[in-house]
A and B are shown apart, each in its own frame.
Chain A
Amino acid sequence: MTLAAVLAALLALGVVARGMGFLPVLGLVDAVAMLASGTPPLTQSGAGVALLLGIAPGLVLSRYQADATPEGQQAALPSFLALALMVLLLLAGSRVQGGQFPAGLCIVAAGLVSVACRRGMVWQWAGLLTCAQGVLLSAVMAGQVMAFGAGALGGLVVLVLGALCAQRVLPRRARALKGEKRRNEV
């Protein structure tokens, strides 16, 4: 159990509470947690995929306006729900796990809560990517190559489909439009 793994779980809570902004930090800490535990070839590729999943969505979304879907009345509730789920998960799994902190599982739980309880499209996308990062982390910690492959593939598919969806749904930002016009004039 490393502090990076614990921090990654807490940053996943940040994604549930605040949205996309925490995703790059989550990717970074996730990569550090992978590098700190596991065997070399898997950890390095895992860290690379985690960084990609963390940073790419922010770059894609910087071309579009913010998703302004209003949230419900109890906006603080989902983060507490996710934290409570993590605690329950640990309570249930403490005797089975043999002394390991199931950080990946906690991140997956937080991502699922984000998908289920948030209304904004971008927020749900962030939740799905969080899930993918959690799967990657647990696969790297357990040294499961098949699970890692499936998690990485799923994460990349979610990344690409989410980017396409954002392109269809979200209005472009004024600055990006201006640059495009100038390019067309030239």
Chain B
Amino acid sequence: MNPNLTWGWAIGSALLLFIQAILLVVVAPWFAGLTEWVAARLEGRPAFRVSARWREIRHQGHRPCLRTPAGQASGMACRGALVLAVLACALVPVFTVSAPGFVAPGLFLVCCVLVAGMLLLDLPQTLQGGVAAWWGCAHLLADGLVLPMLTPVALLAGTTRSLPVFLAGLHDASPLLDGAPYVLAGFAVFMVVVLAPWGDEAERRIACLSGPDRAIWLLATDCLNLCWVTLAGDLAWAGSLANPALGDVEDWLSACMAGAGLWVGKVLAAAVLLGLSRLVVLTASRRARVRLGVIFLFGLLAWQMTWAASSQPVVLDEGAAAPTAEPQSGPRQGSVHGGLS
């Protein structure tokens, strides 16, 4: 722990992390219900209520559990996925970043947790046997490859910095001007959710689950999806996050309030975008390929743009330090370099 971090700030950060995690877990089923509602409205289907998803989870939780011999492992996988999903909810900043010096993971580690949760959610279908197992393996492959495809985004965030430090560095970058590459990076992360299996395909994935297992699976999926969306929103516009380094406690708490309001706005916009994306019709294998390709290329474009903006004098003999190490000072350095050259 950093010596600059006082006990008060550490306890406040821990408390707000806890509140953020609870908020994400509670809101996640509502977000899924809202997305479904928007999609149904746009397609002209009869729409369920926004609370339908939450009610289904509660209803499934009370039903008896019928387990095949392979069901034991499926139940374990679901529970593991829920643990990872709640952990991810705690790791993703919602309306505030933690105080400087507070222990926090990097972006790559957060992505690892999210992808591991997605892999565990694919396991029940794989354990079913028969044709379902083939599809389950395909989903495992498609979700597992998301992590290597996110490498450019992780490089953009820097390998040595934690996620809150990275996001706090982006606080002043306007998404319309010098923060534009990060909007692209956020878009790349958002595509993980946009082109994920949904509807009938998602129903087939949980065909073998019943009772509490199914409820846990649904809740874990919703949590993971909302985590991806929140992470994408943070990357795209980090200025909405409160930063404890910028003032005293009162400033921080009022900024937290404003950040929570802006987060709700971001989530609503994401729900509308997700509803719109449901209108795109692609076959399962093609959608998986398009998802991987889009994530990789947009991440690469974003990383490349920040790299170009933070161009430093090339030092060949000293094994030039990674230029991604400080993209937040990019535009100034870029202008200096442009002036020099």
Contact indicator per residue, chain A 98-138, by CB within 8 Å of chain B (1) or not (0): 11110000000000000000000000000000000000000
A90 at the interface (CB under 8 A from B): yes
Docked pose: A86 CA to B300 CA in angstroms: 10
Q: Is the CB of B180 within 8 A of A98?
A: no
Docked pose: A93 CA to B305 CA in angstroms: 10
Within 8 A of A (CB), among B324-341: 330-331, 333-335, 337-338, 341
B262 at the interface (CB under 8 A from A): no
Q: Is the CB of A2 within 8 A of B304?
A: no
Q: Is the CB of B176 within 8 A of A98?
A: no
B177 at the interface (CB under 8 A from A): yes
Within 8 A of B (CB), among A1-47: 1-6
CB distance from B310 to the nearest CB of A (A): 7
CB distance from A71 to the nearest CB of B (A): 15
Q: Is the CB of A99 within 8 A of B178?
A: no
B297 at the interface (CB under 8 A from A): yes
Known A3-B180, A6-B183: A100·B301 in contact at CB below 8 Å: no
A97, closest chain B residue (CB): B308
CB distance from A104 to the nearest CB of B (A): 15
Docked pose: A118 CA to B301 CA in angstroms: 24
Which of B178, B300, B309 is A87 in contact with, Cβ under 8 Å? B300
B148 at the interface (CB under 8 A from A): no
Known A80-B293, A80-B297, A98-B341: A6·B334 in contact at CB below 8 Å: no
Known A2-B177, A2-B180, A98-B311: A90·B301 in contact at CB below 8 Å: yes
A59 at the interface (CB under 8 A from B): no
B307 at the interface (CB under 8 A from A): yes
B131 at the interface (CB under 8 A from A): no
Chain A, interface residues (CB within 8 Å), range: 20 to 34
Q: Is the CB of A94 within 8 A of B301?
A: no
Chain B residues with CB below 8 A from A4, complex form: 176
Best-surrounded residue of B175, B184, B305, B335 (most CB of chain A within 10 A): B305
Q: Is the CB of A87 within 8 A of B297?
A: yes
Q: Is the CB of B304 within 8 A of A90?
A: yes
Q: Is the CB of A100 within 8 A of B305?
A: no
> Between A and B, how many residue pairs show CB distances below 8 Å?
72
Docked pose: A3 CA to B305 CA in angstroms: 12
Q: Is the CB of A1 within 8 A of B301?
A: no
Q: Is the CB of B338 within 8 A of A3?
A: no
CB distance from A37 to the nearest CB of B (A): 10
A98, closest chain B residue (CB): B338
Known A3-B180, A6-B184, A94-B308: A99·B301 in contact at CB below 8 Å: no
Q: Is the CB of A94 within 8 A of B311?
A: yes
Chain A residues with CB below 8 A from B314, complex form: 95
Chain B residues with CB below 8 A from A3, complex form: 175-177, 180, 183
CB distance from A90 to the nearest CB of B (A): 4
Docked pose: A48 CA to B177 CA in angstroms: 23
B269 at the interface (CB under 8 A from A): no
Which of B178, B184, B290, B301 is A76 in contact with, Cβ under 8 Å? B290
CB distance from A68 to the nearest CB of B (A): 20
CB distance from A109 to the nearest CB of B (A): 12
Q: Is the CB of A99 within 8 A of B183?
A: no
Which of B305, B307, B310 is A6 in contact with, Cβ under 8 Å? B305
CB distance from A122 to the nearest CB of B (A): 22
Q: Is the CB of B300 within 8 A of A1?
A: no
Q: Is the CB of B177 within 8 A of A94?
A: no
A177 at the interface (CB under 8 A from B): no
Docked pose: A93 CA to B307 CA in angstroms: 11
A102, closest chain B residue (CB): B308
CB distance from A14 to the nearest CB of B (A): 13
Q: Is the CB of A99 within 8 A of B177?
A: no
Chain B residues with CB below 8 A from A1, complex form: 177-178, 180-181, 305, 309, 331
Cβ-closest 4 pairs across A and B: A99-B334, A98-B338, A94-B308, A3-B180
CB pairs A–B below 8 angstroms (13 shown): A1-B309, A3-B175, A3-B183, A4-B176, A83-B297, A83-B301, A87-B297, A87-B300, A90-B308, A97-B311, A98-B311, A99-B310, A101-B180
